């Protein structure tokens, strides 16, 4: 392994080892508390621009396979782990995590105290960092970091969104039968606006009985309104995605038009945030975000607690209750996790009900979208 040097914007300078791409890379450091699913996390477009610190100490032991990819590539800037295991043992594995990261030009950093990093991020908040396998001088790394744009200044949606529209027909993948389940007959058709959509979100939508066409982020609201009026689509889904939602001015303007047209809409994560902003309620940045597969969320209607998967640094404001009903709340910090708007057929959630990786207790939300469309 090569040496890797890390400089964080709070002045911390660290040395570790590298098991990924040889590079000098700038990104935002966050931590993720999931016990499994490192491949899904690294291939989630929502992590574009970020270094992910894993609190799970042993990483790499189950390798990588094509079925667990959430997109066509790995989008995170890098992953930081306590112990990397190159010798994997899993009958589904097709290659090592190391070869996967090198192929996708993603940094892999190991042999470092991830407990220290996690506690630092929890205390001081998510921050920018630079890592390099080529530069060991602290002052030079500091100059690179200070001259680089911050994550909130970059529109990563342009990188991760599809360039051409396509139909998605694949249903969910069975982790017991190790095959894709048969998709039910579609009872409705929607347009999915791709801000960095995860493949398993699309799979779950199809499994709920909804036909899917994925379209780029530079969509025109007038086209979707015309399709809705002509009954070619029955609703719109706003996907997850990376970065600061306040940067996405063009997308906000188009979503406002869809809101005014009363088109049924459902949003997850970034889509949830964009719906809030487009209604006039700007998001704010959390101290260190929610990243992991163990977050308890209360369903306000049923009173039940669901353990959820999460990945976001931004949140909708509390005063949005002026125009929407809160349907879900986070029991860690009482932040809003779900909304149903009062004067339009629109709802959204902050957490990830597609359970990839993570628990499956929130999958019913996709069926609620179908029910909304049919009503």
Contacts of 198 (CB under 8 A, 6+ apart): 44, 45, 46, 70, 71, 239, 240, 352, 354, 356
Is 361 a residue of the active site? no
Chain centroid to Cα 58, Å, comes to 22
Is 354 assigned a catalytic role? yes
- List the catalytic residue out of 272, 290, 351, 352: 352
Residue 249 Cα distances to 52, 70, 274, 321, angstroms: 27, 26, 10, 23
DSSP letter assigned to residue 353: T
Given 40, 110, 269, 279, the catalytic residue = 269
Token pair recorded at residue 229: 């009026």
102 within 8 A of 20, measured Cβ to Cβ: yes
Distance CA 194, CA 208 (A): 19
Length of the chain counted residue by residue: 375
Q: Which element (helix H / strand E) includes 158?
A: helix 157-160
Angle, alpha carbons 131-132-135 (nearest 5°): 130
The burial of 238, by beta-carbon neighbours within 10 Å (0-12 exposed, 13-18 middle, 19 or more buried), is given as: buried
Residues 274/255, Cβ–Cβ less than 8 Å: yes
Known catalytic residues are 269, 352, 354
């Amino acid at each position: 392994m090569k040496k890797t040097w890390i400089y964080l914007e709070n002045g911390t300078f660290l040395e570790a080892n590298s098991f990924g791409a040889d590079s000098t890379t700038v990104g935002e450091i966050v931590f993720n508390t999931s016990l499994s699913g490192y491949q899904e996390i690294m291939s989630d477009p929502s992590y574009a621009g970020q270094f992910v610190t894993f609190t799970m100490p042993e990483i790499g032991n189950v390798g990588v396979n094509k079925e667990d990819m959430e997109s066509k590539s790995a989008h995170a800037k890098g992953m930081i782990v306590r112990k990397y295991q190159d010798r994997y043992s899993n009958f589904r594995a097709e290659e090592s995590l190391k070869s996967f990261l090198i192929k996708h030009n993603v940094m892999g950093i190991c042999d470092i105290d991830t407990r220290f990093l996690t506690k630092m991020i929890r205390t001081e908040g998510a921050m920018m960092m630079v890592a390099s396998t080529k530069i060991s001088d602290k002052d030079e790394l500091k100059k690179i970091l200070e001259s680089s744009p911050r994550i909130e200044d970059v529109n990563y949606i342009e990188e991760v969104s599809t360039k051409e529209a396509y139909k998605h027909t694949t249903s969910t993948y069975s982790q017991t039968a190790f095959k894709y389940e048969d998709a039910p007959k579609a009872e409705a058709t929607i347009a999915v606006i791709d801000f960095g959509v995860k493949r398993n979100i699309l799979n779950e939508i199809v499994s709920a009985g909804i036909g899917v066409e994925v379209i780029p982020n530079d969509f025109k609201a007038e086209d979707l309104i015309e399709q809705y009026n002509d009954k070619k689509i029955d609703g719109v889904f706003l996907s997850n995605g990376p970065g600061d939602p306040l940067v996405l001015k063009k997308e906000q303007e188009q979503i406002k038009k869809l809101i005014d047209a009363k088109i049924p809409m459902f949003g997850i994560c970034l889509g949830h945030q964009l719906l809030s902003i487009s209604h006039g309620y700007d998001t704010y940045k959390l101290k260190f975000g929610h990243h992991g597969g163990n977050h308890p969320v209360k369903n306000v209607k049923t009173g039940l607690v669901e353990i959820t998967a999460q990945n976001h640094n931004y949140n909708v404001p509390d005063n949005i209750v002026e125009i929407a009903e809160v349907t879900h709340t986070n029991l860690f910090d009482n932040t809003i996790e779900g909304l149903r708007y009062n004067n339009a057929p629109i709802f959204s959630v902050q957490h990830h009900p597609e359970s990839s990786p993570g628990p499956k207790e929130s999958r019913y939300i996709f069926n609620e979208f179908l029910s909304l469309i049919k009503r």
